[in-house]
Amino acid sequence: MQLRSIGDSINHRMVQEDLQQEARDAVAHFVLLFFGGMDALLRFLWNNHLM
């Protein structure tokens, strides 16, 4: 019985860590896209002398 509860808690922690990893990946992807888009927008404005 005790081994089963240890296994369940380990499994639960692994699921939580997996979700945290997916959230970190999603945030990193969003930040890269956001700053990449900002860079392209600023370059476009600069090249067209709108700033």
User: Could you report the per-residue pLDDT of 3-19, keeping only the tens digit for each?
Assistant: 677 777 777 777 788 87
| Calpha distance 32→25 (Å, rounded) | 11
Radius of gyration of the chain (CA): 22
Q: Does the pTM of the predicted model rise above 0.75?
A: no
Tokens of 25: 């990946």
Structure confidence at residue 47 as a pLDDT band (50, 70, 90): confident
User: Could you report the per-residue pLDDT of 29-46, keeping only the tens digit for each?
Assistant: 998 888 888 888 888 888
- What pLDDT, on a 0 to 100 scale, did the predictor assign at position 14? 76
- What pLDDT, on a 0 to 100 scale, did the predictor assign at position 2? 67
